[in-house]
Amino acid sequence: MASKTGKILVVDDNLGIRRALEILLPVHFAQVKTIPSPTTIVSSLEQFRPDVVLLDMNFDTSINTGGEGLYWAREIKQIMPEVEVVLFTAYADIALAVEGMKRGAFDFIVKPWENDKLIEVLKAARDKALKATKRDIQATVPANDNPMFWGTSKPMAAIRKTLDKIAPTDATVLITGENGTGKDVLAREIHSHSLRSGKPMVAVDAGAITETLFESELFGHVKGAFTDAHTDHAGKFEQADGGTLFLDEIGNIPPHLQAKLLRAIQNRSIVRVGGSESRPVNIRLICATNMNLEQLVAEGRFREDLYYRINTVHIALPPLRERKQDIVPLAQLFLDRMAKKYHRPLTGITPEAAELLKAQRWSGNIRELQNCIEKAVILSEGHELSSKDIQLDRAAAPSVTTIKAVSEAEEELLVRDAMDRTGGNISAAAKMLGVSRPTLYAKLKKYGL
């Protein structure tokens, strides 16, 4: 019997149907996952990475129009265009089938189904998906354990298109963005979609390397080069040979060391500390920083020639506050991961908690959201995360500019948070918020606090 391939995600609120498919489909496909509701489709796509989604068209028994199925079919194709969608409905409506096809569905199956027909359609959809993406679950190269969450925002859609174009090339990439926006995750995504994916990706926190060890860490050293050099050592450039070298926080490298880095990048060769032999290195370079390199160049703190050398393609990751529609789906993704990690029976987020999450500015971006959800999962005792489970930490007081820029819902949340943290001390809360006491009094009156 031929090896089974393909990953099928089934979305259907009928328990009997899910159980029947959990028996039938694994006979023909490598992996099968079933979920009862479309509310976890986004996180399931990111985690499970299916080839085909078998999607029920009705999830509310009082509304049997297929509207939900059509909506989610479109959403799936927007989030992951390579995934094929097969619509699943109890109503043989040709017009509805045509509309589903227009929205990108691969085919249409009517309940009750014929097993042979269902398997035939799903296999055809799987074959199309695997051919289009050149992705086979039996590939020897391990998949990215935490792939990029693309969401549905326009900035992220544009970045994904850019990635599709540049990943197969050896173009040098500069990724910029605030702390916590996922620059390292995007770097891994570029590598995993490149022709070098079977080779190592070596990540270096350039800002964390001391000046005395900079050359040794990046270029290696020979035995006896300095006191503790007891053996020859290959640096990060050599370790990444044939693969990708990711230099994170490149803006923190002192100017006098930037020249040595530039020379290695230009020549694609290094000389180990204490040695004389020039060693060629074949790498794809990706750099990242949360700094404004153009400003650093203007101030003379970053070499202009190095800036242009690493900036063949520039990708700017947006902060989470500019992609608010992705906050709750991201939170659900983290909830699924953490619930599994900590063995919690959590499946969703209450509407109140979702509104609370959306009202936050998340100055620490995705990393802060992940930490918040992890803590909430650990403390939660129910099957859904509630607003009581979510503890919002603020590492720094917001500035006057921040307060003025937020919506009323966010402003009220900031004021409540400041009052809670200061135990109701008006002076301390006003100082934390960066406003005067009279201004804070006005806001307290405005929100009935």
Domain of residue 32, CATH code: 3.40.50.2300
Residue predicted with more confidence, 336 or 66: 336
Q: Are 74 and 161 members of one domain? A: no
Number of domains into which the chain is organized:
3
Residue predicted with more confidence, 429 or 31: 31
> 37 with 55: CB under 8 angstroms?
no
Q: Give tens-digit pLDDT for 352-379.
A: 899 899 888 898 899 899 989 988 888 8
* pLDDT for res 139: 33
Q: Give tens-digit pLDDT for 307-330.
A: 999 999 999 999 999 999 999 999
Q: Are 300 and 328 members of one domain? A: no
Is 407's pLDDT higher than 80?
Answer: no
Q: What is the mean pLDDT of the chain?
A: 83
Domain of residue 329, CATH code: 1.10.8.60
Q: Buried b vs exposed e over 175-201: b needs ≥16 C-beta within 10 Å?
A: bbbbebbbbbbbbbbbbbbbebbebeb
Look at the block and give the residue holding tokens 């923190």. Answer: 252
* pLDDT for res 419: 75
Residue predicted with more confidence, 380 or 302: 302
Residue 142: inside a domain, yes or no? Answer: no
Q: Give tens-digit pLDDT for 118-134.
A: 999 999 999 988 887 54
* pLDDT for res 319: 93
Tokens linked to 364:
């620490």
Q: Are 176 and 97 members of one domain? A: no
Residue 86: inside a domain, yes or no? Answer: yes
Residue 148: inside a domain, yes or no? Answer: no
From 133, 166, 187, the end of a domain falls on: 133
Residue 192: inside a domain, yes or no? Answer: yes
Question: E-assigned strands of 91-209?
Answer: 107-110, 173-176, 201-205
Domain of residue 245, CATH code: 3.40.50.300
Q: Buried b vs exposed e over 338-351: b needs ≥16 C-beta within 10 Å?
A: bbeeeebebbbbbe
Is 25's pLDDT higher than 60?
Answer: yes
* pLDDT for res 60: 61
* pLDDT for res 141: 37
Q: Which amino acid is at 176?
A: T
Show the domain range for 106: 7-133
* pLDDT for res 403: 54
Q: Give tens-digit pLDDT for 84-102.
A: 999 887 765 566 766 777 7
Q: Are 386 and 255 members of one domain? A: no
Q: Give tens-digit pLDDT for 167-219.
A: 999 999 999 999 899 999 999 999 999 989 889 999 988 877 877 788 888 99
Query: Binning pLDDT at 50, 70 and 90, where does residue 264 land?
Result: very high
Q: Are 169 and 116 members of one domain? A: no
Residue predicted with more confidence, 409 or 7: 7
From 288, 316, 344, the end of a domain falls on: 316
Residue 2: inside a domain, yes or no? Answer: no
Please compute the mean of the pLDDT values over residues 280-289 and round it to a whole number: 94
What is the phi/psi pair of residue 246, to 5°? -110, 110
Is 53's pLDDT higher than 70?
Answer: yes
Is 83's pLDDT higher than 50?
Answer: yes
Is 395's pLDDT higher than 70?
Answer: no
From 296, 316, 336, the end of a domain falls on: 316
Q: Are 351 and 407 members of one domain? A: yes
Residue 267: inside a domain, yes or no? Answer: yes
* pLDDT for res 224: 84
Q: Are 255 and 394 members of one domain? A: no
* pLDDT for res 70: 83
Residue 112: inside a domain, yes or no? Answer: yes
d(CA 299, CA 134): 46
Q: Are 212 and 190 members of one domain? A: yes
* pLDDT for res 306: 95
Residue 138: inside a domain, yes or no? Answer: no
Q: What is the dihedral of CA 146, 285, 306, 225, to 10 degrees?
A: 110
Q: Are 348 and 408 members of one domain? A: yes
Q: Are 12 and 114 members of one domain? A: yes
Q: Are 192 and 217 members of one domain? A: yes
DSSP, residue by residue, 29-97:
SSEEEEES-GGGHHHHHHHH--SEEEEES--BTTB-SSHHHHHHHHHHHHH-TTSEEEEEESS--HHHH
> 83 with 77: CB under 8 angstroms?
yes
Q: Are 301 and 337 members of one domain? A: no
* pLDDT for res 135: 40
